[in-house]
Amino acid sequence: MFSDTRSPKKKKKRKERNLKQQRKQGSNLHILKHFANSLGEQDFLVLQASLQNTYTFLLFTYLFLFICINLRGPSAVLLHGYIV
């Protein structure tokens, strides 16, 4: 529809910038895409969602334990009893 009027240098810079950005987003997605070729699109989406849920669960568990350990007073004793 529209022709690309950018110079070859700008195209190359844009491509390099996009590659850098993709690398910053994480190599986990690259690994998941590798497995997506053998699995199928639906299985890939399910796998990606389950990994994200796992990361979220671990983060909240870590935060909960951190808060419980750092609490002072009677509430810390009560929560400590539940954890141990």
Looking at residue 67, its pLDDT comes to: 76
Question: Is the pLDDT assigned to residue 64 strictly greater than 60?
Answer: yes
Return the domain boundaries, the chain.
Answer: 8-83
* Mean pLDDT calculated for residue range 54-72: 79
Q: What is the pLDDT of residues 2-51, one digit of tens each?
A: 566 778 888 888 888 877 776 666 666 666 666 666 666 677 777 777 77
pLDDT band per the 50, 70, 90 thresholds, residue 83: low
Looking at residue 14, its pLDDT comes to: 82
Name the burial class of residue 18, with classes exposed (0-12), middle (13-18) and buried (19+) by CB atoms within 10 angstroms of its CB.
exposed
pTM: 0.33
Residue 70 amino acid letter: N
- Tokens for 9, please give them: 């240098």
Task: Supply the DSSP string of 12-68, one letter for each residue.
Answer: HHHHHHHHHHHHHT-HHHHHHHHHHHHH-HHHHHHHHHHHHHHHHHHHHHHHHHHHH
Going by the DSSP 8-state scheme, the letter that residue 73 receives in this structure is S
